[in-house]
Amino acid sequence: MKKVIEEFLSSTGSTWISQSELVAYCKKKKISFDKEQLKFHVRSGEIVATLFFRQHYYSTKKLHMLENSICQKIVALKKIGVKTPSYEWVEEKICEAEGILKIKLHVEQRNAVHTAVSNVFSIVTGGPGTGKTSVLIVVEYIFKAMGIQLCYMAPTGKAAKRITESTGSKAYTLHKKMAIIDENSIPKPLCERCIVIDESSMADMDITHKLLTAVSPGCRIIWVGDIYQLPSVGAGSILRDFIGSGF
Protein backbone atom coordinates (compact mmCIF):
# COMPACT_ATOMS: atom_id res chain seq x y z
CA MET A 1 0.00 0.00 0.00
CA LYS A 2 2.95 2.30 0.61
CA LYS A 3 4.00 2.13 -3.05
CA VAL A 4 0.43 2.73 -4.19
CA ILE A 5 0.21 5.88 -2.06
CA GLU A 6 3.60 7.11 -3.33
CA GLU A 7 2.52 6.52 -6.92
CA PHE A 8 -0.75 8.41 -6.46
CA LEU A 9 0.90 11.40 -4.77
CA SER A 10 3.65 11.63 -7.38
CA SER A 11 1.25 11.41 -10.32
CA THR A 12 -1.34 13.89 -9.00
CA GLY A 13 0.90 16.48 -7.33
CA SER A 14 -0.97 15.93 -4.05
CA THR A 15 0.71 15.46 -0.67
CA TRP A 16 -2.21 13.63 0.98
CA ILE A 17 -4.69 11.02 -0.20
CA SER A 18 -8.02 10.29 1.46
CA GLN A 19 -9.05 6.72 2.19
CA SER A 20 -11.90 6.95 -0.30
CA GLU A 21 -9.47 8.19 -2.98
CA LEU A 22 -7.08 5.36 -2.11
CA VAL A 23 -9.82 2.74 -2.43
CA ALA A 24 -10.92 4.20 -5.79
CA TYR A 25 -7.31 4.36 -7.02
CA CYS A 26 -6.71 0.72 -6.06
CA LYS A 27 -9.88 -0.27 -7.93
CA LYS A 28 -8.74 1.70 -10.99
CA LYS A 29 -5.33 0.03 -10.91
CA LYS A 30 -6.93 -3.36 -10.19
CA ILE A 31 -5.03 -3.66 -6.92
CA SER A 32 -6.51 -5.12 -3.77
CA PHE A 33 -7.06 -2.51 -1.04
CA ASP A 34 -5.27 -4.07 1.95
CA LYS A 35 -6.45 -2.25 5.06
CA GLU A 36 -4.30 -4.35 7.41
CA GLN A 37 -1.17 -3.63 5.40
CA LEU A 38 -2.05 0.07 5.48
CA LYS A 39 -2.39 -0.07 9.28
CA PHE A 40 1.01 -1.79 9.48
CA HIS A 41 2.68 1.02 7.50
CA VAL A 42 1.03 3.61 9.75
CA ARG A 43 2.20 1.82 12.90
CA SER A 44 5.75 1.54 11.53
CA GLY A 45 5.81 5.28 10.76
CA GLU A 46 6.39 4.85 7.02
CA ILE A 47 2.93 6.28 6.34
CA VAL A 48 1.45 9.22 8.27
CA ALA A 49 -2.29 9.24 8.96
CA THR A 50 -4.58 12.06 10.05
CA LEU A 51 -8.31 12.54 10.48
CA PHE A 52 -9.89 15.53 8.73
CA PHE A 53 -13.65 16.11 8.56
CA ARG A 54 -14.28 12.47 9.56
CA GLN A 55 -12.14 11.22 6.70
CA HIS A 56 -8.79 9.47 7.04
CA TYR A 57 -5.93 10.95 4.99
CA TYR A 58 -2.52 9.43 4.33
CA SER A 59 0.90 10.71 3.30
CA THR A 60 4.46 9.40 3.34
CA LYS A 61 6.79 10.14 6.22
CA LYS A 62 9.16 12.04 3.91
CA LEU A 63 6.46 14.25 2.37
CA HIS A 64 4.98 15.01 5.79
CA MET A 65 8.40 16.12 7.05
CA LEU A 66 9.08 18.20 3.92
CA GLU A 67 5.68 19.88 4.14
CA ASN A 68 6.18 20.87 7.78
CA SER A 69 9.74 22.02 7.14
CA ILE A 70 8.69 24.19 4.16
CA CYS A 71 6.05 25.90 6.33
CA GLN A 72 8.60 26.55 9.08
CA LYS A 73 11.16 27.97 6.65
CA ILE A 74 8.59 30.28 5.05
CA VAL A 75 7.48 31.57 8.46
CA ALA A 76 11.12 32.13 9.49
CA LEU A 77 12.01 34.03 6.29
CA LYS A 78 8.88 36.17 6.47
CA LYS A 79 9.61 36.95 10.11
CA ILE A 80 13.06 38.28 9.16
CA GLY A 81 11.46 40.31 6.38
CA VAL A 82 13.08 42.65 3.85
CA LYS A 83 13.72 46.37 3.63
CA THR A 84 10.99 47.86 1.45
CA PRO A 85 10.90 51.19 -0.38
CA SER A 86 7.95 53.55 -0.08
CA TYR A 87 4.86 53.08 -2.24
CA GLU A 88 5.43 56.50 -3.79
CA TRP A 89 9.02 55.71 -4.77
CA VAL A 90 8.01 52.40 -6.40
CA GLU A 91 5.18 54.13 -8.26
CA GLU A 92 7.63 56.75 -9.51
CA LYS A 93 9.98 54.02 -10.74
CA ILE A 94 7.13 52.19 -12.49
CA CYS A 95 6.29 55.35 -14.45
CA GLU A 96 9.99 55.82 -15.21
CA ALA A 97 10.31 52.22 -16.43
CA GLU A 98 7.20 52.52 -18.60
CA GLY A 99 8.74 55.47 -20.41
CA ILE A 100 12.20 53.98 -20.87
CA LEU A 101 11.13 50.42 -21.66
CA LYS A 102 8.09 51.45 -23.74
CA ILE A 103 5.77 49.33 -21.58
CA LYS A 104 2.32 50.29 -20.32
CA LEU A 105 1.12 48.38 -17.26
CA HIS A 106 -2.54 48.04 -16.33
CA VAL A 107 -3.74 48.27 -12.73
CA GLU A 108 -3.32 44.56 -11.88
CA GLN A 109 0.21 44.54 -13.30
CA ARG A 110 1.14 47.64 -11.28
CA ASN A 111 -0.20 45.98 -8.13
CA ALA A 112 1.86 42.88 -8.92
CA VAL A 113 5.01 45.02 -9.22
CA HIS A 114 4.33 46.66 -5.84
CA THR A 115 3.72 43.27 -4.23
CA ALA A 116 6.92 41.75 -5.65
CA VAL A 117 9.08 44.67 -4.55
CA SER A 118 7.60 44.95 -1.04
CA ASN A 119 7.38 41.32 0.14
CA VAL A 120 9.63 38.36 0.94
CA PHE A 121 7.31 36.06 -1.01
CA SER A 122 5.09 37.03 -3.89
CA ILE A 123 3.26 35.35 -6.77
CA VAL A 124 2.86 36.58 -10.34
CA THR A 125 0.26 34.37 -11.98
CA GLY A 126 -2.05 34.38 -14.97
CA GLY A 127 -2.62 32.63 -18.25
CA PRO A 128 -0.66 33.13 -21.50
CA GLY A 129 -0.66 36.73 -22.70
CA THR A 130 -1.67 38.27 -19.36
CA GLY A 131 1.56 40.25 -19.04
CA LYS A 132 3.65 38.31 -16.55
CA THR A 133 6.86 39.02 -18.49
CA SER A 134 6.14 42.77 -18.58
CA VAL A 135 5.73 42.71 -14.80
CA LEU A 136 9.08 40.96 -14.40
CA ILE A 137 10.88 43.39 -16.70
CA VAL A 138 9.62 46.36 -14.66
CA VAL A 139 10.37 44.58 -11.37
CA GLU A 140 13.93 43.96 -12.58
CA TYR A 141 14.27 47.65 -13.52
CA ILE A 142 13.18 48.72 -10.03
CA PHE A 143 15.44 46.26 -8.24
CA LYS A 144 18.40 47.47 -10.27
CA ALA A 145 17.59 50.98 -9.04
CA MET A 146 17.73 49.53 -5.51
CA GLY A 147 21.10 47.91 -6.22
CA ILE A 148 19.63 44.40 -6.30
CA GLN A 149 20.34 41.95 -9.12
CA LEU A 150 17.55 39.50 -9.95
CA CYS A 151 18.46 35.85 -10.33
CA TYR A 152 16.15 33.97 -12.70
CA MET A 153 15.63 30.24 -12.21
CA ALA A 154 13.30 27.59 -13.58
CA PRO A 155 12.67 23.86 -13.02
CA THR A 156 13.83 22.90 -16.54
CA GLY A 157 16.43 23.97 -19.07
CA LYS A 158 13.76 24.73 -21.66
CA ALA A 159 11.95 27.07 -19.26
CA ALA A 160 15.22 28.77 -18.30
CA LYS A 161 15.98 29.37 -21.98
CA ARG A 162 12.56 30.98 -22.49
CA ILE A 163 13.23 33.40 -19.61
CA THR A 164 16.51 34.48 -21.19
CA GLU A 165 14.77 35.01 -24.54
CA SER A 166 11.90 37.05 -23.08
CA THR A 167 13.79 39.16 -20.51
CA GLY A 168 17.30 39.27 -21.95
CA SER A 169 18.70 38.14 -18.58
CA LYS A 170 20.62 34.94 -17.90
CA ALA A 171 18.57 32.19 -16.28
CA TYR A 172 19.53 28.93 -14.57
CA THR A 173 17.84 25.66 -13.77
CA LEU A 174 17.17 25.21 -10.08
CA HIS A 175 19.24 22.04 -10.07
CA LYS A 176 22.28 23.65 -11.70
CA LYS A 177 22.22 26.78 -9.52
CA MET A 178 22.04 24.72 -6.34
CA ALA A 179 24.40 21.99 -7.64
CA ILE A 180 21.76 19.28 -7.19
CA ILE A 181 22.55 15.92 -8.75
CA ASP A 182 19.83 13.78 -7.16
CA GLU A 183 17.23 13.90 -4.39
CA ASN A 184 19.91 13.24 -1.76
CA SER A 185 22.06 16.22 -2.80
CA ILE A 186 22.57 19.00 -0.27
CA PRO A 187 21.82 22.31 -2.03
CA LYS A 188 24.60 24.85 -2.45
CA PRO A 189 23.87 28.01 -0.41
CA LEU A 190 22.49 30.93 -2.44
CA CYS A 191 23.58 34.49 -1.65
CA GLU A 192 21.17 36.20 -4.10
CA ARG A 193 18.93 38.94 -2.67
CA CYS A 194 16.04 38.29 -5.06
CA ILE A 195 15.16 35.08 -6.90
CA VAL A 196 12.52 34.67 -9.59
CA ILE A 197 11.20 31.14 -10.14
CA ASP A 198 9.52 30.97 -13.53
CA GLU A 199 7.20 28.10 -14.54
CA SER A 200 6.90 27.49 -10.80
CA SER A 201 3.82 25.31 -11.35
CA MET A 202 6.41 22.59 -12.12
CA ALA A 203 8.11 22.94 -8.73
CA ASP A 204 7.40 20.02 -6.41
CA MET A 205 7.88 19.55 -2.66
CA ASP A 206 11.46 18.30 -2.86
CA ILE A 207 12.95 21.09 -5.03
CA THR A 208 11.03 23.77 -3.09
CA HIS A 209 12.42 22.48 0.20
CA LYS A 210 15.95 22.55 -1.23
CA LEU A 211 15.45 26.11 -2.48
CA LEU A 212 14.17 27.37 0.89
CA THR A 213 17.09 25.61 2.58
CA ALA A 214 19.60 27.28 0.24
CA VAL A 215 18.38 30.90 0.28
CA SER A 216 19.85 33.48 2.64
CA PRO A 217 17.80 35.46 5.20
CA GLY A 218 16.46 38.64 3.61
CA CYS A 219 16.11 37.09 0.16
CA ARG A 220 12.96 37.80 -1.83
CA ILE A 221 11.40 34.97 -3.85
CA ILE A 222 8.99 35.70 -6.70
CA TRP A 223 6.99 32.70 -7.92
CA VAL A 224 5.83 33.04 -11.52
CA GLY A 225 3.54 30.65 -13.34
CA ASP A 226 0.10 29.37 -14.23
CA ILE A 227 -1.44 26.46 -12.32
CA TYR A 228 -3.41 25.48 -15.43
CA GLN A 229 -0.26 24.95 -17.47
CA LEU A 230 2.62 22.60 -16.63
CA PRO A 231 2.05 20.31 -13.59
CA SER A 232 4.60 19.67 -10.83
CA VAL A 233 7.33 17.15 -11.57
CA GLY A 234 6.73 15.17 -8.37
CA ALA A 235 4.49 15.22 -5.31
CA GLY A 236 3.35 18.63 -4.13
CA SER A 237 1.79 21.27 -6.38
CA ILE A 238 3.59 24.16 -4.69
CA LEU A 239 2.23 27.07 -6.74
CA ARG A 240 -1.35 25.82 -6.53
CA ASP A 241 -1.07 25.34 -2.77
CA PHE A 242 0.59 28.72 -2.21
CA ILE A 243 -2.22 30.47 -4.10
CA GLY A 244 -4.90 28.41 -2.32
CA SER A 245 -3.47 29.20 1.13
CA GLY A 246 -3.53 32.96 0.58
CA PHE A 247 0.27 32.83 0.98
Model confidence pLDDT, tens digit, residues 23-37: 999 999 999 999 999
- CB-based contacts of 155, cutoff 8 Å, min separation 6: 173, 174, 197, 199, 200, 202, 203, 207, 233
Q: What is the pLDDT of residues 199-219, one digit of tens each?
A: 999 999 999 999 999 999 999
How many Å apart are CA 2 and CA 122, to the nearest integer?
Answer: 35
- Give me the pLDDT at residue 231, please: 84
Cα torsion through 11, 13, 19, 22, rounded to 10: -10
Q: Residue 229's pLDDT band (boundaries 50, 70, 90)?
A: confident
- Give me the pLDDT at residue 11, please: 87
Would the pLDDT of 247 be above 70?
no
Higher pLDDT, 72 or 244: 72
